[in-house]
Amino acid sequence: MKITALAGGVGGAKLIDGLSRVLNPSELSVIVNTGDDFIHYGLHISPDLDTITYTLGGMANPFSGWGRFEETYNMISSLEVLGGQTWFLLGDKDLAVHLERTRLLNQGYPLSSVTSKFCHAWGIKQLILPMTDNDVRTVIDTVESGELSFQQYFVENKYRPQVKNIHFSGIETASPAPGVLEAIEQADGVIISPSNPWVSIDPISHIPGIGSALKKKIIIAVSPIISGSAIKGPAAKMFSEMGIQPSSVAVFRHYSQYLSGFVLDNIDKSRSHEIPIPTLVTQTIMKSTQDRVSLAQSVIDFLQTL
Ligand code: FO1
């Protein structure tokens, strides 16, 4: 069964890992958010692409969900001595990715080609696609500090500022990266992973052409919010600050124009009657690899019933 998944950061990566253990590599394509990308020390950093590829390459730091396993931080320690910018932790092995990506981008290679080259180097056989090769950047407009880049909001300010609005600069003129529309059209099913709807999935679905391609497909979403809170990150806080009571039902409503089915956690079983489309109620909290595999298999079985 050919599956195309939409994913952003850490939460999405866990389900992608599960799917990669259940499906043959040629059956899984992943369209990844690049709205979190930014230039830091002159380097083009693509955090969500790195989180997904590190996870599929078995190199991800299992504790933080981002960055590399068995990493060292000699560079950042030396930067500290110099009074440099150390708010965004760059590991030594991680740094090689940012250096080489930046070198290739500066030579004119599109981000999708760079990603494909890195996947080949790491032996990753699934198709990993940035949502676009154009510069689309998530901008968080906050009460306290005005407009912040995503990383300034999420890391530098620890997502404390109150969100007034979110927009994606450059998205009006962006186009899907090569292979993205085909990955959607050729999929037997599309899965919206349990990433942040506002800043991980919306940037993808709002790229001109992607939303309309998605509407033609059987799509399910796995709620990243369980009994009103997110497992990790600002998703629930963003719902609240956008004036919406955070819940799995709110997540359904956020995506409702696309969805054929919806997956919520056992804890939210009592709310499934509020979802007017087929639902799967199961364990969506993924603490172990087995949890990831079980959820992936349940989601695929569910897709096949739709
Ligand atoms: N997230 C943090 O909370 N603190 C960091 O210092 C940090 C560094 C970092 C370095 C490389 C990378 O690829 C990701 C990194 N992240 C860090 C995560 C990053 O902010 C992602 O955007 C989030 O995971 C959300 O997608």
In the chain, where the domains are located: 3-140+171-305
Other Cβ atoms within 10 Å of 243 Cβ, number: 6
Q: Ligand 1 mean position to 304 CA, how many Å?
A: 35
| Residue 91, phi then psi, degrees to nearest 5 | -75, 165
The pLDDT score that the predictor gives to residue 229 is 86
Answer whether 9 contacts ligand 1 (Cβ < 6 A).
yes
Return the residue whose CA atom lies nearest to atom 16 of ligand 1: 66
Answer whether 88 contacts ligand 1 (Cβ < 6 A).
yes
Answer whether 36 contacts ligand 1 (Cβ < 6 A).
yes
Angle at 134 between CA 203 and CA 59, to 5 degrees: 70
Other Cβ atoms within 10 Å of 181 Cβ, number: 17
Return the residue whose CA atom lies nearest to atom 23 of ligand 1: 9
* Mutate which of 155, 157, 159 for ligand 1 pocket (most atoms within 8 A of beta carbon): 155
pTM (2 d.p.): 0.98
C-alpha to C-alpha distance for 203 and 198, rounded to whole angstroms:
8
Decide the pairing of beta strands 146-149 and 127-130: unpaired
**Mean pLDDT per 10-residue section of the chain, whose length is 306 residues:** 95 96 98 98 98 97 92 98 98 98 98 98 98 98 98 97 98 98 98 98 98 98 93 93 97 97 97 97 96 98 97
The pLDDT score that the predictor gives to residue 11 is 85
The pLDDT score that the predictor gives to residue 232 is 85
- Enter the DSSP assignment of 60: B
Decide the pairing of beta strands 43-45 and 38-40: antiparallel
Q: Ligand 1 mean position to 159 CA, how many Å?
A: 12
The pLDDT score that the predictor gives to residue 249 is 97
Three-state secondary structure call for residue 3: strand
CB 153 within 8 A of CB 181: no
Q: Ligand 1 mean position to 217 CA, how many Å?
A: 32
What atom in ligand 1 is closest to the CA of residue 36?
22
Return the residue whose CA atom lies nearest to atom 13 of ligand 1: 47
**CA neighbor of 243 nearest in space, from 168, 169, 167, 165:** 165
C-alpha to C-alpha distance for 132 and 110, rounded to whole angstroms:
9
CATH number for 3-140+171-305 (one of 3.40.720.10, 1.10.357.10, 3.40.50.10680, 3.40.50.720): it is 3.40.50.10680
CB 200 within 8 A of CB 210: no
What atom in ligand 1 is closest to the CA of residue 10?
24
